[in-house]
Chain A
Amino acid sequence: MNLSYSAEYEQFRAEVRRFLAEHWTPEDAAATVSDPSSVATLGGAVRTDSRATTFRLKAIERAYLYRHVPRRYGGSEQPLDPLKAAIIGEEFRQAKAPGEVVGQGPSMLVPTLLEHGTEAQKERFVRDTLLGKIRWCQGYSEPGAGSDLASLKTRAVLEGDHWVVSGQKIWTSNAQDSDWMFALVRTEPDKPKHDGISYLLIDMQTPGLDVRPLRQMTGDADFNEVFFDNVRVPAENLVGRRGQGWVVSRSTLKHERALIGGSHLTRRAFDGLVMLAQALDLRGQPAIKDPTIRSRLVELEARLLANEYQGYRLLTMSARGDEPGLAGMVMKLSSTTLGYDIAKLAMDVMGDRALLAPGEPSAPAMGMFGTAYMWSLGVLIAGGAANIQRNIIAERGLGLPRDARK
């Protein structure tokens, strides 16, 4: 075991700082696009403007971003080093500099393409996705296929060199702003349900594709229904083999990076919470001086640290070629419940000011913690609701009997 920040790392930190001082000025940071809802969920501004892109390219060149992606596809291809990654994250956050683009493209599609995509698909999509030039949404859930995702019915029929897609997706986050969708569709209706699914990349501008917004509990409409009426998709947009879509989509879950990314967002939310508690007064003193709030903060920090170090452990296991087993299965449930509890404490830290709606000028931080609180519930449901995670953990992790299912 060796995690100490040796002189080498301190030197690395100094290099990162010099780079940031040189390439990301306070004026750059001040130009931050402030979108309260993304700030609330992601804890920092999400930018893909040209200023940010120019900066990201330099940061990739210096091997500070996309360290797990090969150089030829736009990454910086570095050996696994979570300590360096942590230093980069800390310093970039400090400087309010654009880090890796947040979204389902970089976190889910890119690892999937790197593992299963054709050379042409990787060339075409990975680099632009990493820079936020191509924005992705995920076409998985359907009205009749939620927890039981493999029962999905949207079908694709091969006609010549095109797949013709008909059906409906739902809960599609950011479909209204996306350029492309990675979708699961049924291509082999006669096969058993898991074996009849394919993974398809669909241009959102294709005729016959209709996006209709759904308003979520926050009051905004970030997710959608997407309807497909004979949407023609070039056959070359199939990822992996026909009928292998389930396996292809599951492979993303193995990518430990996504797990680390999860705790990274939780870290930002926690740091934001601490700053809030330092900034706000409760009954005549900073909230952070309140013994109950201090105790709850440390409880949450313990869970956060456990998840962060568990990330180190998972990375070490993966570097050694060990199977993560239970350790990998619990991360989603662990980090989403933690995210929910962090957001909840932020509500309590605001005290009666939690009554003020997001966007209300007199609300602390423009009410973004209220939005974050609601979003933390959405995250608990998204990508496999908590009870589905519990079933997976109990059945595959602990070896308990499987639920009866068809």
Chain B
Amino acid sequence: MDFGLSEEQVLLKDTIRRYLETECPPPRVRTIMEAPSGHDPELWLGLAGLGVLGLHVPVEHGGSGLELLDAALAAEELGWACTPGPFLACALATVALVAAGNHEVGTRWLPAIAQGDAIVTFALGEEGDEWDAGRLATRARGGTLTGRKPLVPYAEIADAILVAAQDDDGPGLWLVERGAPGLEVTAQRTTDMTRRVAAVALTGAPATRVATGRTATDRARDAGLVLLAADAYGGARRCLEMTVRYVLTREQFGQPIGAFQGVKHQLADLATELDPALSLWWYAAHAFDRIRDRSERHAAIAKAHLTDLFDRVARVTTELHGGIGFTWEYDLHLWFRRSIFDRAFLGEAGYHRARAAELAGW
């Protein structure tokens, strides 16, 4: 039994951390998030160069052939740095493509994702916060897709979109390429400016079938839940670190405000909640990789718990900063906004708690 990271995993995290500290500090985050696309090709190729985009791409498709846990460790670091860009979109597409096991489509897109040459996103959710592959309204008929996906990550810059939809036989997964006739992508302004979404309308758009059934879609969703939990953990950790530093330097009543018990105890409570939560998403990632019968429920529990925590940590740490925490100039709101994406995307905490209760047979 072993419940810790390997040397390679620690090295991976350190490497990503060092890269993001120099290449993606908050001023750069702001530049990218204020650009029209919310995406920086240079940063993206840098991440590809570190192998971040191909961690869980199989070796035969040009990736490292690692597991979701490794991708989640990367997600933690990206959350820590508040890194803008389509990491989650491509990670979901990767899981879906691998789970689909469609060799031809995999060969076409997976190597390009790993190298940073193509951005592939994943379109699941529909109107009314619907994330269940068995209840989707988007229909496949005669090699085309028709329907609406209102909140698709980075669809605007995607080279291809994996679309969860249904045909007469039930759920399945299809791929639509950029520029396809009947594909209309409309950019949306987003609360979290570091993760963009666009509305996708499909009107008889030509599509390639990638998988039959809902397994590939469910696996991608579960992976997404774990990656969001990891991102939330990284983000929350950063908020806590920034705030500890702030309360050690900010003085009132003749002493650092961090010397007041009111402040100390609020931070201690956050640390007490956050620290064990790391083990929860580690386990959820590990279950996704190796303990399949616990995977779905743990992903749901981890997503609900960690994104709730990120929200709380971001709120309390902002409050601890006083007025400066409420300004645009101060960086903390970047993470506060990020916590909103982590909570809302793929379904909010209450939805996943209800699923977890159902999955327990309660």
Contact A334 to B272, CB < 8 A, known contacts A297-B362, A298-B301, A310-B279: yes
In the bound complex, how far is the Cα of B265 from the Cα of A334, in angstroms?
13
List of A residues within 8 angstroms of B304 by Cβ: 298-299, 302
In the bound complex, how far is the Cα of B361 from the Cα of A277, in angstroms?
13
Decide yes or no whether B103 CB sits under 8 A from chain A.
no
Decide yes or no whether B275 CB sits under 8 A from chain A.
yes
Contact B354 A306 (CB under 8 A): no
List of B residues within 8 angstroms of A297 by Cβ: 357, 362
Contact B280 A306 (CB under 8 A): yes
In the bound complex, how far is the Cα of B302 from the Cα of A3, in angstroms?
17
Q: Mark A208-249, 1 if CB is under 8 A from B, else 0.
A: 000000000000000000000000000000000000000000
Question: Would you call the interface of chain B mostly helix, strand, loop, or mixed?
Answer: helix
Decide yes or no whether A103 CB sits under 8 A from chain B.
no
Decide yes or no whether B259 CB sits under 8 A from chain A.
yes
- Nearest Cβ in chain A — how far from B174, in angstroms? 33
Pick out which of these stretches binds chain A: B2-10, B32-40, B149-157, B207-215.
B2-10
Decide yes or no whether B283 CB sits under 8 A from chain A.
yes
Decide yes or no whether A365 CB sits under 8 A from chain B.
no
List of A residues within 8 angstroms of B290 by Cβ: 2-4
List of A residues within 8 angstroms of B279 by Cβ: 306, 309-310, 312-313
Contact B282 A394 (CB under 8 A): no
Contact A299 B265 (CB under 8 A): no
Contact A313 B282 (CB under 8 A): yes
Decide yes or no whether A403 CB sits under 8 A from chain B.
yes
In the bound complex, how far is the Cα of B264 from the Cα of A403, in angstroms?
10
Measured as residues with beta carbon below 8 angstroms from the partner, the interface class of chain A is: 35 or more
Decide yes or no whether B183 CB sits under 8 A from chain A.
no
Q: Mark A283-315, 1 if CB is under 8 A from B, else 0.
A: 000001101001101110111011101101101
Contact A307 B276 (CB under 8 A): yes
Decide yes or no whether B242 CB sits under 8 A from chain A.
no
Contact A400 B357 (CB under 8 A): no
- Nearest Cβ in chain A — how far from B75, in angstroms? 16
Decide yes or no whether B61 CB sits under 8 A from chain A.
no
In the bound complex, how far is the Cα of B290 from the Cα of A327, in angstroms?
25
Contact B1 A274 (CB under 8 A): no
Contact A301 to B283, CB < 8 A, known contacts A83-B1, A312-B3: no
Decide yes or no whether A123 CB sits under 8 A from chain B.
no
Contact A295 to B1, CB < 8 A, known contacts A3-B291, A394-B268, A400-B259: no
Question: Would you call the interface of chain A mostly helix, strand, loop, or mixed?
Answer: helix
List of B residues within 8 angstroms of A399 by Cβ: 244, 248
Q: Which residue of A lies closest to B261 (CB)?
A: A403
Contact B353 A395 (CB under 8 A): no
- Nearest Cβ in chain A — how far from B233, in angstroms? 11
List of A residues within 8 angstroms of B357 by Cβ: 294-295, 297-298
Partner of B280 from A298, A309, A398 at Cβ < 8 Å: A309
Question: Among residues 157 to 173 in chain B, which have CB atoms less than 8 Å away from a CB atom of chain A?
Answer: none
Q: Which residue of B lies closest to A286 (CB)?
A: B362
Q: Which residue of A lies closest to B258 (CB)?
A: A400
List of B residues within 8 angstroms of A397 by Cβ: 268, 271
Decide yes or no whether B334 CB sits under 8 A from chain A.
no
- Nearest Cβ in chain A — how far from B322, in angstroms? 17
Contact A3 B259 (CB under 8 A): no
Pick out which of these stretches binds chain B: A110-118, A350-358, A385-393.
A385-393
In the bound complex, how far is the Cα of B267 from the Cα of A5, in angstroms?
37
List of B residues within 8 angstroms of A312 by Cβ: 1, 3, 279
Q: Mark B271-308, 1 if CB is under 8 A from A, else 0.
A: 11101111110110010001100000010011011000
Decide yes or no whether B143 CB sits under 8 A from chain A.
no
List of B residues within 8 angstroms of A326 by Cβ: 271, 275
Q: Mark B303-320, 1 if CB is under 8 A from A, else 0.
A: 011000000000000000
Q: Which residue of B lies closest to A86 (CB)?
A: B1
List of B residues within 8 angstroms of A391 by Cβ: 261, 264-265, 268
List of B residues within 8 angstroms of A277 by Cβ: 362
Instruction: Name, among A274, A277, A334, the residue most crowded by chain B CB atoms within 10 Å (CB to CB).
Output: A334
Contact A320 B4 (CB under 8 A): yes
In the bound complex, how far is the Cα of B305 from the Cα of A277, in angstroms?
22
In the bound complex, how far is the Cα of B244 from the Cα of A302, in angstroms?
26
Instruction: Name, among B4, B290, B298, the residue most crowded by chain A CB atoms within 10 Å (CB to CB).
Output: B4
Decide yes or no whether A82 CB sits under 8 A from chain B.
yes
Contact B3 A315 (CB under 8 A): yes
Question: Among residues 1 to 59 in chain B, which have CB atoms less than 8 Å away from a CB atom of chain A?
Answer: 1-6
Contact B354 A294 (CB under 8 A): yes
Decide yes or no whether A316 CB sits under 8 A from chain B.
yes
Contact A302 B301 (CB under 8 A): yes
In the bound complex, how far is the Cα of B159 from the Cα of A38, in angstroms?
63
List of A residues within 8 angstroms of B362 by Cβ: 274, 277-278, 288-289, 294, 297
Q: Which residue of B lies closest to A81 (CB)?
A: B1
Add 5 more A-B contacts to A3-B283, A330-B275 (CB < 8 A).
A1-B2, A1-B69, A302-B301, A334-B276, A399-B244
Q: What 3 pairs across the A-B complex have the smallest Cβ distances? A: A309-B279, A394-B264, A302-B305
14 A-B residue pairs with Cβ-Cβ distance under 8 Å, sorted by A, are A1-B3, A2-B1, A3-B286, A81-B1, A294-B357, A297-B362, A303-B276, A309-B3, A313-B4, A390-B265, A391-B265, A395-B264, A397-B268, A398-B271
